Structure 1
């Protein structure tokens, strides 16, 4: 043992005890000399660089079920990784002290570990843990579990065909972890988790003869047959025959009793009895009523399952597929439409032509009764306005093609008719009204450019634009707020002279620009996504041009013809230097 109690590492961490050791590594309990906080310190020889790799990997991760990194030290030919000290006991110690565990607890721990693994598997690139075993899982006093020891974890390389080394623990390691059997992936960790749950349920280690996992009811006939089926799927030799994701496994663990043979037979008996009752009571109409209620419960449960599958899917096409299925099942409910719009925007913040065609196709699809999904949605105003608000905003803010503002006006006008506080929040109803009127101005501006006639009130246009600044958009969605700021900035650039003619003062325009500047200054761009930072940079550049436009508009007293000329020159100059008017949402 390299460190004895009392040793101080890096002049900061005093070793108190040995928590465990294995192979060439050891883990110590240490106390920070200044703060008194307890830490776990992992020691490994310098010639093995796996500790550095482990530290680099953990620094990228943040999840309640994972330890965080405090420090990394190098002393006397050893690396020391300072991590959160997890108070509790490992599952291996639990097994030694108590033996096999109740199935309810095992299913709960399994679900928690699924959440941690799903988090790892959905990183970019995915992180494969590869060493799932009871000694690597800590059980805290509150029942929460934490996954420790990332010495064998790796980031999956999509171009790789197989792993270069064989790592893992015999009995818990999946077949593909042994050389020449392909690359490890999420299914590898699912196998390991299945082996851990097998050990917890039976008290028998799959790492000891006869090795591997057998049906758990061979040892404990009292266990759920559904849980046994789940573990047999987890530990299939062929990765393709296991669960496709940890989210899918978690879904099964939540409902393991529904997979029991006795439960399946009981449901079948109830169904047959129910059908008989319906036949006997058909004359009175009770059978029809019971059937309708049962059907509604079944449809509602399936609808919810579709939404859960969509929300939990990583692949966009899979998400969209489950959203379509949910809409087809219950076209009059809003949730599937909301998730559909969210899926369109989540990758790149754009609502593309292809996605818009898909949305229209879903809305216009007719059901067996000859009614379209759009018509079915319209039969329930409360659901319709919820969907209309999100669809309208998608068209207004994010649609790339032509006609987006016109389409948004239709949807947003529906949302603006919602009952405030009941069907939609009051703020949302107000915002929908402003956006629908602004969208309407675009059509009138188009007519004005063609005919030369003044078709809109720029005073009212200004009021609606500035009303959006009072709606607290940044509290709901920072991207939406930035796109709306860009909208206000561009309209000041292109219509400053016209706004002046309509009675809008210089200080009013400057005040709006200053308000936007303060919002931008208060945000930390370093903590935002690349897309948000790009929008922030565009807004900051636009503010400079907008301030110039305001000053130019108030240098002289323009007549209406000069106003149009000034606006046109500013429009052309802004477009030449920064992009097309369409890029900035200008009609």
Structure 2
């Protein structure tokens, strides 16, 4: 049977083979239910029953461990299937190459790349070590790290990860420290009674980074690597010191946790001999500048070029650290730092927006942070009209659907006022976006027009000059509902449904006066109901919003019916 015809678990259609090992084959598969790609690892049939029991037991334990994790650098295991004598593990598909494949294909890696990967891996290891109970990974090595085309690191294979044993007293039953890969395992992993902790992973990561720099694994039990510059003469003295400390035989002499290791990697060049030499050169150049203005201009241009190169490198590192950070506050700080290094770049702000939306609330503190960052760089950002328009549109949608003003709450009958406040706050950004040339310009214009109605209709009603405003509003809301019906964002769907139902309950007589008939208004309400009813809530907040919309449909129909009863008591059209 061709790979494309195979279906596992009745819904995972095998597309192609993407990897193969001694006991397993990894495929790219398409989930026919979700229309999403997954990686499916097939563990082929093992005839020996005892061996099979051990393998399956280990895989199930690994899957149960991973499903408790929530970190962007740890792919999820979503399904385990036993079928036709084989075991299939369904997990997140990570596009890219393992670091062992990178070494095989590209050779030794640059210090910049290795340090960037090291900092990312410190973050995920630190996440594991800070869990309750703490987890020790124990198997850091190039083949267990995937790198995406964007340079993001992902950690695979938690087969020998374990809960961190107590520092004193008897070891837990069944605990075995003597697991790991020669050349990367820490000395305590070769001790039958050794205790593994965060420093064990510090050692493994240090050995991994060393290997990436020199291009080969200097195997040994325990791992004894010569000083970095003895193997790689051009290497940084600062980085040599950092890795040497990480790989100390005595755990007490290593960095005591991965946060400390990450800091050392970030600052490895601070006392580097090469940096001191560079500063001496800069000092001599500075002295010479005092002698000749022409030399000043030339050297100044060169210095600016070098500064720009450093800034570009720092920008990339800040972005990479932000994308990998598990803590939102840390990530947001990194994005702001990146924005300050490259004022015209929209990517840091897009990263901020994504982080702000993660918990479903865009709060006033986050708003203040965003406004401050934008205020300093808005002129530079607006020079790229298309990118600026898209960013303004994304910010506008964030205000429209997620903004939570100080003192505001959701549910319990206050949704209408909250929605109004969100629309008012979003209006400016939707207008900015609608005036720039980008892909969603027309949609931004639709939002801006809906916002204009909501911000101006009350004064117009007071003046008696609101006639003719309701028919366009009806059409715009109908169009927005149609767009939301194909959206995969449940927050946006439910917000739109509630906005429509609120309009149907508030302005039914106004809609009638503007020529909207009863059938159209009833269809308007029904469409909003279907939009809300189609959402499968995954959080209490979504469930509350959905229930509110579904409960509002009946009263909305009643209000529409009352609006079409004329003075004789007969129902109108």
TM-score bracket, normalised by the shorter chain, equals: 0.5 to 0.7
What is the CA–CA distance in structure 1 between the aligned matches of 2:379 and 2:142, rounded to whole Å? 57
CA contact (8 A) 1:323 1:337 kept: yes
Tell which has more relative contact order, 1 or 2 (C-alpha 8 A, sep 6+): 2
Residue 57 of structure 1: which of 65, 79, 84 is its match?
65
Instruction: Kindly provide the CA deviation profile for residues 408-460 of structure 1, in whole angstroms up to 9, marking residues without a partner as x.
Output: 222221111002xxxx21x3x122222223223333244367x4745471222
C-alpha contact (below 8 Å) 1:152/1:167 kept by paired residues = no
Given the alignment of the two structures, is residue 310 of structure 1 paired with residue 322 of structure 2, yes or no?
yes
What's 1:577 paired with?
Answer: none
Match among 388, 395, 401 for residue 397 of structure 1 = 401
Q: Classify 1:260/1:282 alpha carbon distance in 2 versus 1 (closer, same or farther; 3 Å).
A: same
* Aligned equivalents of 1:183, 1:241: Cα separation in 2: 12
Correspondence for 1:39: 44
Structure 1 equivalent of residue 362 of structure 2: 351
Q: Distance in 2 between matches of 1:338 and 1:67?
A: 28
- Separation in structure 1 between the aligned mates of residue 310 and residue 119 of structure 2, nearest angstrom: 27
Please tell me whether the aligned partners of residues 334 and 387 of structure 1 are also in contact (alpha carbons under 8 angstroms). Answer: yes
Distance 1:339 1:40, change over 3 A: same
Q: Aligned residue for 2:259?
A: 244
CA distance in structure 1 between the aligned counterparts of 2:82 and 2:494, rounded to whole angstroms: 40
Cα distance, 1:545–1:270 mapped onto 2, change above 3 Å: same
> How many equivalent residue pairs?
477
Cα distance 1:550–1:278, how it changes in 2: closer, same or farther (>3 A)? Answer: farther
Q: What are the superposed Cα offsets for residues 271-293 of structure 1, whole Å, 9 maximum, x if unpaired?
A: 68987998867389655555555
Distance (Å, rounded) in 1 between the aligned partners of 2:227 and 2:259: 21
| 2:180 counterpart of 1:172 | no
1:441 aligns with 2:453: yes
For residue 93 of structure 2, what is the aligned residue in structure 1?
A: none
Question: Structure 1: which 5+ residue stretches go unaligned?
Answer: 1-18, 21-26, 31-36, 74-79, 85-90, 365-371, 563-587
- Find out whether 1:461 has 2:473 as its counterpart: yes
CA–CA distance in structure 1, aligned partners of residues 160 and 390 of structure 2: 48
- Aligned equivalents of 1:345, 1:266: Cα separation in 2: 46
Contact 1:497–1:554, Cα closer than 8 Å, also in 2: no
Q: Mapping of 1:109-148 within 5 angstroms?
A: 128-132=135-139, 147-148=156-157
Distance 1:351 1:417 in 2: 25
Query: 1:113-139 deviations in whole A, cap 9, x for unaligned?
Result: 998896686589588353317799699
2:546 matches 1:539: yes
Q: For the Cα contact (< 8 Å) 1:344–1:355, is it kept in 2?
A: yes
Shift of 1:472: 5.4
Deviations 1:466-488 (A, max 9, x none): 23234458547443343223322
Structure 2 partner of 1:406: 424
For 1:213-232, list aligned pairs within 5 A. 214-218=226-230, 220=231, 224-225=235-236, 228-229=240-241, 231-232=243-244
Q: Does the CA-based 8 Å contact 2:116-2:317 persist in structure 1?
A: no
Please name the residue that 1:571 is paired with.
Answer: none
- Tell me the distance in 2 between the aligned counterparts of 1:270 and 1:104: 28
Shift of 1:153: 2.7
Q: 2: distance between equivalents of 1:330 and 1:434?
A: 32
Pairing 1:339–2:351 present:
yes
> 1:167, CA displacement in angstroms?
4.4
Report the Cα distance in structure 2 between the residues aligned to 1:416 and 1:29, rounded to whole angstroms: 52
Match of 2:498 in 1: 486
What are structure 2's unaligned runs of at least 5 residues?
A: 1-19, 26-41, 91-97, 147-152, 406-417
Question: How far does residue 184 in structure 1 lie from its aligned partner after superposition?
Answer: 3.4
Instruction: State how far apart, in whole Å, the 2-side matches of 1:441 and 1:260 are.
Output: 61
Contact 1:233 1:241 in 2 (8 A): no
Aligned counterpart for 2:221 among listed residues 200, 204, 207: 207
Deviates more, 1:477-486 or 1:535-544: 535-544
- The TM-score normalised by the length of structure 1 is 0.61
Q: Retained in 2: the 8 A contact 1:458–1:499?
A: yes
Q: Do the aligned residues in 2 keep the contact of 1:409 with 1:436 (CA within 8 Å)?
A: yes
Match of 1:415 in 2: 433
Q: Is the 8 A contact 2:505 2:560 kept in 1?
A: no
Do the aligned partners of 2:67 and 2:77 also contact (CA within 8 Å) in 1?
Answer: no
Contact 1:195 1:206 in 2 (8 A): no
Q: Tell me what 1:184 maps to.
A: 197
3-state secondary structure, aligned to 2:370: helix
Equivalent in the alignment of 2:556: 549
Given that 2:227 and 2:240 are in contact with CA atoms closer than 8 Å, whether structure 1 keeps it comes out as: yes
Summarize the Cα distance change of 1:44–1:225 in structure 2 as closer, same or farther, 3 Å threshold.
farther
Q: Structure 1 residues 136, 332: CA separation in 2 closer, same or farther (over 3 Å shift)?
A: closer
**1-structure distance, mates of 2:551, 2:397:** 27
Deviation at 1:319, TM superposition (A): 1.8
Distance 2:316 2:545 in 1: 40
The answer as to whether partners of 1:313 and 1:319 remain within 8 angstroms in 2 is: yes
- For 2:156 and 2:115, how far apart are their aligned partners in 1? 12
Is the CA contact (8 Å cut-off) linking 2:66 and 2:158 kept in structure 1? Answer: no
* Distance in 2 of aligned mates of 1:515 and 1:357: 37
Q: Report the Cα offset of residue 378 of structure 1.
A: 5.3
Alpha-carbon distance between aligned partners in 2 of 1:464 and 1:550, rounded to the nearest angstrom? 20
Who is 1:498 aligned against?
A: 510
* 1:360-411 deviations in Å (ceiling 9; x for gaps): 44445xxxxxxx5456655665554343222222222222227543332222
Whole-Å separation in 1 of the counterparts to 2:202 and 2:520: 61
